[in-house]
Amino acid sequence: MIEATAYILMGGKNTRFGSEKWKAKLGSQIVLDSIWNACSIFKERKLIGKKKPEQINKTFITDIYNYHAPIVGLHTALINSKTNWILVLSCDLPLINEGCLKFIWDSKKKGVDAVVPIVKDQVQPLCSLYNVDTLSELDYFINKQNFSLQKFLKSINTQFINMDHYERSFFNMNTQDDLKKIKIKNKI
Closest CA to 125 of 113, 110, 142, 143: 113
Could you give the angle at the alpha carbon of 117 between the alpha carbons of 113 and 122, nearest 5°? Answer: 125
- How many C-beta neighbours within 10 Å does residue 6 have? 25
2-185: CATH topology: Spore Coat Polysaccharide Biosynthesis Protein SpsA; Chain A (3.90.550)
HSE, side-chain direction, 13 A CA sphere, residue 105: 21
135: which residues sit within 8 A by CB, 6+ positions away?
A: 75, 78, 79
- Burial class (CB within 10 angstroms; exposed 0-12, middle 13-18, buried 19+) of 106: exposed
pLDDT truncated to tens, each residue of the chain (188 aa)?
A: 999 999 999 866 556 665 677 777 877 788 889 899 999 999 999 999 888 888 888 999 988 887 778 888 999 999 999 999 999 999 889 999 999 999 999 999 999 999 999 999 999 999 999 999 999 999 999 889 888 999 999 999 999 999 999 998 998 887 767 767 776 666 66
- The domain ranges of the chain are 2-185
Cα–Cα distance, 8 to 47 (Å, whole number) = 5
- Provide the angle, in degrees to the nearest 10, between the axes of the packed helices 135-143 and 70-80: 140
The model's pTM is 0.91
